[in-house]
């Protein structure tokens, strides 16, 4: 599982700081999370083959999280896309995108599916062959969801030495990967676990932005491999965090600690802080394995 | 009069090529013409104090000419703007901007005025103290206007030597600039033209994008100081130009020649051409003083 930060600046883009967008590669599938203005340009700059994106998840309809969506959808058409595209986001997202296409007398040559969300509780919204996605209801000024991505358990791994030792037929390899016991040419049965190793444990990623401090979020993201949690402010601006329904670095770290996640990534920094090291320092009062999001930075989630 | 090209790529932004947006400084006023995705980021990169923009003119509602508008409008609020903002563009522009503000439960703290255009003939749409703006109806796949900007005639210029020679009172300088004759302390009257020079002739700028070849456009832009005319294609793709209602470099130059403009700027190049020099060569079959638009490039219009 690989995460690429395309942008993580709060509110407005800056000269060298894009607004929120992330690309997640999960079990070979590529999904986009949020799509601030200029996301398609960031994807080009990073040399990402963005035609591979089949699912887009928008957290909420503030501009710094979705003003780049209509441009990406239009560009997909101009590049000759034919594959289906699924867009998940708050109710209203379909109207605003289709209105813009209508005004431009434009359309898409591919199937564009909108999945509008209104649920107020965590909900499984996608059960894909390779992964699942659940919503994480957040507490912000407008209806907002985080998203929890879980890999599905992969196939069992062949124990080559054991397979050779027992003389298993090559034709049975797929049966082995699927966990089946095997009958040898001599008629004996061998238990699968003697011939295979357990698959890698599935990894998980939780994206939580934007949100006020929401302690009960910890239950929903319990034990995830990686948590991205917004940290718009430092503790000196706790009052602003409350007023604007954002979080501080410490609050993000408290969620991470309570949920016992593998690692924490902070992002969505206010432009008022020239030095971001204080975000690490303040977060580490509660949780050690913390990293800062940064435009173009990649994280391997394990 | 100073023109800055913020972007001039057709259809979609590229790694180093933004879609259409231009900044025109006219008699001390700053206006924005079109606003492709990422325009606010370009303005920041070029270090332009964009709070000075009071008028925005959108040619048509294709994404590469206006997807950056909602982001700029939102950012103006976040930066604490209080000055009025006037947006001119095709009918529908108000609905799409206000829908996006509504979905974000957002607003503007400044007055935002929409001037929706539906006229099919050239129309004076702004008579400002410093300049005028007329529409230039274009021929594209959706309702599209170019815009013609004309400086108003400035004040007369003081002839310092003559003023000293006649002994004109300093208190009369503003009367002189306004063209009035002056009475000297001895009671004699002096004609204004003996004491002043003519003001600089007013300059004009015509922006024409996007449009199919439209020969009668030449009458509307007759004698302008500078014409920006789209040139999406070279003559090898004349068929595509007709089909998509765009122009070739030669067609743009034919308008410039017929209208006897001061200079021609070509832009809105299709991404299929790695070398843009052929645009100059083909345009110069009809008109000599031709230049290529380029992101970040400035033109002094005289």
Would you say residue B17 has pLDDT above 90? no
Q: Which of residues 127-156 of A touch B (CB under 8 A)?
A: 141-142
Check if the beta carbon of residue A248 is closer than 8 Å to that of residue A233: yes
Average pLDDT in the B149-176 region?
Answer: 93
Distance CA B61, CA A105 (A): 9
Which residues in B258-275 are b (16+ Cβ under 10 Å) and which e? Answer: bbebbbbbbbbbbeeeee
The reply to whether residue B12 touches residue A74, judged by beta carbons under 8 angstroms, is yes
How far apart (Å, rounded) are the C-alpha atoms in residues B208 and B57?
12
Using the beta-carbon criterion (under 8 Å), do A41 and B13 form an inter-chain contact?
yes
Fill in the DSSP letter of residue B151: E
At A232 the pLDDT is 97
pLDDT in tens, B34-88: 999 999 999 999 999 989 999 999 999 999 999 999 999 999 999 999 999 999 9
pLDDT mean over A183-207: 94
Q: What distance in Å separates the CA atoms of residue A36 and residue B168, rounded to the nearest whole number?
A: 62
Write down the pLDDT at residue B253. Answer: 98
Task: Say what the pLDDT of residue B154 is.
Answer: 86
Q: Mean pLDDT, to the nearest integer, of B220-232?
A: 98
| pLDDT at position A197 | 96
CA distance A46 to chain B (A): 9
pTM: 0.91
The rounded distance, in Å, linking the Cα atoms of A36 and A293 is 15
Q: What contacts B241, CB < 8 A, 6 or more positions away?
A: B212, B213, B232, B233, B247, B248, B251
Share of chain B above pLDDT 70, in %: 100
Cα–Cα distance, A135 to A148 (Å, whole number):
6
Q: Does B91 touch chain A (CB under 8 A)?
A: no
Q: Say yes or no: A45 contacts chain B, CB-CB below 8 A.
A: yes
- Joined together, the tokens standing for residue B124 give 């004076």
Candidates A5, A99, A116, A105; CA nearest to A58 is: A116
Alpha-carbon distance B26 to B28, whole Å?
5
pLDDT for residue A200: 87
Nearest to A14 among B15, B44, B100 (CB): B44
At residue B16 the predicted structure's pLDDT band, cuts being 50, 70 and 90, is: confident
Give the model confidence (pLDDT) of A129-161 as tens digits. 999 999 999 999 999 999 999 999 988 999 999
Residues within 8 A of B (CB atoms), A 200-259 only: none
Query: pLDDT tens, B257-292?
Result: 999 999 999 999 999 999 999 999 999 999 999 999
How, if at all, do strands A226-230 and A204-208 pair?
Answer: parallel
pLDDT at position A17 is 87
**Residue A217 pLDDT exceeds 90:** yes
Per-residue pLDDT tens over the stretch A41-57 = 999 999 999 899 999 99
HEC secondary structure over chain A: CEEEEEECECCCCECCECECEEEEEECCEEEEEEECCCHHHHHHHCCCCHHHEEEEECCCCCHHHHCCHHHHHHHHHHCCCCCCEEEEEECCHHHHHHHHHHHCCCCCCCCEEEEEECCCCCCEEEECCCEEEEEEECCCCCCCEEEEEEECCCCCEECHHHHHHHCCCHHHHHHHHCCCCEECCCCCEECHHHCEECCCCCCEEEEECCCCCCCCHHHHCCCCCEEEEECCECHHHHHHHHHHCCCEHHHHHHHHHHHCCCEEEEECECCCCCCCHHHHHHHCCCCCCEEECCCCCEEECC
Q: How confident is the model at residue B218 (pLDDT cuts 50, 70, 90)?
A: very high
**Per-residue confidence band for A95, with pLDDT thresholds at 50, 70 and 90:** very high
- Chain B nearest-CA residue for A46: B15
The model's pLDDT over A257-270, given as tens digits with 9 standing for 90+, comes to 999 999 999 999 99
Count of helix runs (H) and strand runs (E) in chain B: 10, 18
B172-182 core/surface letters (b: 16 or more CB in 10 A; e: else) = beebbbeeeeb
**Per-residue model confidence as pLDDT tens digits over A58-91:** 999 999 999 999 999 999 999 999 999 999 999 9
Contact A245, A277 (CB under 8 A): no
Nearest C-alpha of chain B: how many angstroms from A295?
Answer: 15
Mean pLDDT of A24-34: 97
Only one residue has tokens 């239009």, namely: A74
Q: Looking at the predicted structure, is the pLDDT value of residue A15 above 90?
A: no
The answer, yes or no, to whether the previous bond of A210 is cis (omega within 30 of 0) is yes
Chain B positions touching A13 (Cβ under 8 A) are: 38, 40-41, 44, 71
**Which backbone phi and psi does B53 adopt, to 5 degrees?**
-70, 125
Domains and CATH numbers, chain A: 2-154+200-300 (3.60.15.10), 157-197 (no CATH)
User: Under a CB-based contact definition with an 8 Å cutoff, are residues A247 and A211 in contact?
Assistant: yes
Q: Catalytic site residue A64?
A: yes
- Residue B11: per-residue pLDDT: 86
CB atoms within 10 A of CB B126: 17
Q: Is residue B1 very low, low, confident or very high in pLDDT (cuts 50, 70, 90)?
A: very high
pLDDT at site A11: 86
Residues B132-155 have a mean pLDDT of: 97
Write down the pLDDT at residue A121: 98
Q: What is the dihedral of CA B102, B104, B109, B114, to 10 degrees?
A: -40
- What is the percentage of chain B residues whose pLDDT exceeds 90? 94
CA A143, CA A138: separation in Å to the nearest integer? Answer: 8
Which active-site residues of B does the annotation give? Answer: 64
ipTM comes to: 0.88
């Amino acid at each position: 599982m690989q995460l690429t930060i395309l942008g993580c600046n709060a509110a407005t883009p800056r000269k060298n700081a894009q607004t929120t967008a992330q690309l997640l590669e999960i079990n070979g599938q590529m999904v986009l999370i949020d799509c601030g203005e200029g996301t398609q340009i960031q994807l080009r700059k990073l040399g990402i083959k963005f035609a591979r994106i089949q699912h887009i998840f928008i957290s909420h309809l503030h501009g710094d999280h979705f003003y780049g969506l209509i441009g990406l959808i239009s560009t997909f058409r101009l590049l000759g896309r034919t594959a289906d595209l699924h867009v998940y986001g708050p109710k209203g997202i379909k109207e605003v995108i289709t209105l813009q296409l209508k005004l431009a007398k434009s359309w898409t040559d591919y199937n564009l599916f909108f999945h509008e969300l209104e649920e107020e509780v965590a909900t499984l919204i996608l059960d894909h062959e390779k992964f699942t996605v659940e919503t994480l209801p957040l507490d912000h000024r407008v209806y907002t969801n985080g998203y929890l991505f879980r890999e599905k358990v992969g196939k069992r791994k062949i124990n080559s030495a054991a397979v050779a030792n027992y003389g298993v037929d090559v034709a049975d390899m797929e049966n082995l990967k699927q966990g089946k016991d095997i009958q040898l040419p001599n008629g004996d049965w061998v238990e699968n676990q003697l011939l295979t190793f357990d698959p890698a444990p599935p990894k998980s990623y939780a994206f939580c932005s934007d949100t006020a401090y929401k302690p009960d979020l910890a239950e929903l993201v319990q034990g995830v491999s990686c948590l991205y949690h917004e940290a718009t402010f430092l503790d000196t601006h706790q009052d602003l965090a409350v007023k604007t329904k954002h979080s501080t670095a410490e609050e993000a770290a408290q969620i991470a600690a309570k949920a016992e996640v593998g690692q924490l990534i902070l992002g969505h920094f206010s432009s008022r802080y020239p030095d971001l090291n204080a975000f690490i320092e303040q977060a580490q009062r509660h949780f050690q394995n913390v990293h800062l999001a940064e435009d173009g930075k990649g994280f391997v989630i394990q």
